[in-house]
Chains A and B, each alone.
Chain A
Amino acid sequence: MTIREVLLSVDGVEATYNHAIRALSGVNLTVRTGEIVALLGANGAGKTTALKALCGLLAAERGQITAGRIRYDGEDIAQRSPAELVRAGLVQVLEGRHCFRSLSVEDNLIVGGQARGWSRAALRRELERVYTLFPRLRDRRGSLAGLTSGGEQQMTAIGRALMARPRLLVLDEPSMGLAPLVVESIFAALTALNRDEGLTLLVAEQNSTVALRHAHRAAVLENGRTVLDGAADALRDRDDIKAFYLGVGLGAAA
């Protein structure tokens, strides 16, 4: 792969909740245009907090960034509102899917496009694009999202984010609670987007096997700091990944 421009860089970011509970104590991360980057780590390692920090969502959970810098597309974005970031193309699919449960699948998608203020024709085009990527959603477009299956909800959540035409799509545990076949098909769709449209992806996963199979590079978080960073295929075979993943292998790279 050729060296490409840095789209997102996270430098020494620290964060707390309620100014008291320390959640991140030194996260470093670089995502280049066109890459798929996996963010790995055990439960509670700080993956979700890190992703929320870079999408401006920490404040909504009484969290705050206390140190470090986050740059997206060359600009410092620590103080930007989520709405501004979405318009700039930085969109997150939250952990646990978070569909609008009492809205239809199609209305979920339409809300996803609202930040962009699409015209009627553009909205049609974007919907068509999502339905082509996830044909299941076309069949279920009229169903309430809360009544669809877990996989369909994950597709709805991803489709909703795609409606804003992201440049960097951030996904938090997209495989959580889903059957392996469904996980495969979702990752296949994401990989296709990356390959065909050059969409850059940052994926946090506990399921390191799946994530490393699709990612170009990966970073590992432990206790709120980055402990390992490298090419995905190099990390794939290393046992200490497993150790970090389980949270027992201290020190090796810290």
Chain B
Amino acid sequence: MDWSFFTEVLVGGLLSGVMYSLVAIGFVLIYKTSGVLNFAQGALLLFAALTFVSLTERGLPFWAGIALTLAAMTAIGALIERTVLRPLVNQPPITLFMATLGVSYVIEGAAQLLWGTQVHGLDLGIDDLPLEIGGVLISTFDLFAAAVAGAMVAGLTLFFRYTRIGLGFRAVADDPLAALAVGLSLDRIWTAVWTASGVVALVAGLLWGARLGVQFSLSLVVLKALPVLVLGGFDSIAGAIVGGLIVGAVEKLAEVYAGPLVGGGIEGWIAYVAALGFLLIRPAGLFGAKPVERV
């Protein structure tokens, strides 16, 4: 076996897995605090990418485009929380899920109405040239994406660990009823969380958009996030990272090594098979809902 080739495939897989993690983190933030599986995360991601591309195509400078899109995403996140989820609070999970499914179509429709249906290229100014490190070729773009993801996770971690609202967020995630009883304003925390997931959607949207081009199938990356969540656990940011890495690595390794045996095309579905197998063994995921309890 050619180990340097294996390493190259593995590293490539891990780095592409980071892209999945980026999408999964958006889910985790909302799921952890409100128990809602936000299917609209993909639509948010698409909306962010499309808004940014359309703004820069109309001549706006890069950073102004980022700032404006960021403002739009925080506004949309807060608006969804306010108009859709808050009135539905305490409804069964399936009701909330259906609501976010509806929201995702509304957002996609709105994006189409606003920006049209064309496919756009998105150039973040990072060349996707292979970089040779220790004899292994690595994509510069993937490295950049991994660095961005790392910075974002570090930022979120610091936020949750050291700020007031972060502490409130962890309290709500632990025990919503107790958080209510001690007078935390759940509405405010949920708004903050939806805003944060809007920001995550922006980052993920730009990176995915640069990779695949900005088009409507971009919203389907949510489906790629699902096996990541099953593997890592729906309520753990660390789980989203590890789950993403596993899915990325499994996909690429399976495609390269097992693909030829069955005529290829494994990459598209192997993650779901892995997730399915995982569900049977460990339904909570690797990092999911490990209750802190004395035994």
Hey, which bits of chain A sit against chain B, CB under 8 A? 55, 57, 59-62, 81-83, 85-87, 91-94, 98-103, 107-108, 110-112, 114-116, 144-149, 157, 160-161, 163-164
Contact = CB atoms under 8 A, between A and B. Distances in A.
Given A60-B180, A82-B181, A164-B183, 10 more contacts: A83-B185, A91-B183, A98-B177, A98-B178, A99-B178, A101-B292, A111-B168, A114-B167, A145-B292, A161-B182
B175 interface: yes
Given A146-B292, A146-B294, A111 B175 contact: no
Interface string B149-163: 000000000000000
Contacts, number: 97
A102 B185 contact: no
B184 A100 contact: no
Contact of B183 (A83, A102, A145): A83
A103 B176 CA distance: 14
Contacts of A116: 183
Nearest to A112: B182
A145 B292 CA distance: 8
B108 interface: no
B178 A115 contact: no
A115 B182 contact: yes
B82 interface: no
A200 B183 CA distance: 19
A50 B170 CA distance: 28
A71 B183 CA distance: 19
B185 A100 contact: no
Nearest to A87: B183
B167 A111 contact: yes
A94 B293 CA distance: 18
Interface string B163-198: 010011011001111111111110000000000000
Main secondary structure of the interface of B (DSSP, over half): helix
Given A62-B90, A98-B177, A100-B175, A91 B182 contact: yes
B268 interface: no
A101 B292 CA distance: 6
A94 B167 contact: no
B291 interface: yes
Contacts of A146: 291-294
Contacts of B174: 100-103
A82 B292 contact: no
A39 B114 CA distance: 60
A164 B182 CA distance: 8
A66 B294 CA distance: 40
Given A59-B90, A146-B291, A111 B182 contact: yes
Nearest to A145: B292
Contacts of A81: 185
Contacts of B90: 59-62
A38 B262 CA distance: 73
Contacts of A115: 182-184
A157 B174 CA distance: 14
B184 A114 contact: yes
A98 B181 contact: yes
A114 B170 contact: no
A233 B90 CA distance: 42
A100 B291 contact: no
A125 B164 CA distance: 18
Given A99-B175, A144-B292, A146-B291, A82 B170 contact: no
Given A60-B176, A94-B177, A86 B292 contact: no
A144 B170 CA distance: 13
B164 A114 contact: yes
Contacts of B175: 98-101
A86 B182 contact: yes
Interface in B6-39: none
Contacts of B176: 60
A83 B181 contact: no
A39 B181 CA distance: 19
Contacts of B292: 101-102, 144-147
A103 B184 contact: no
A247 B230 CA distance: 48
Contacts of A82: 180-181, 183
A60 B181 CA distance: 10
9 contacts: A61-B177, A91-B181, A94-B178, A98-B181, A99-B175, A103-B167, A107-B167, A114-B183, A115-B183
Contacts of A107: 167, 170-171
B178 A100 contact: yes
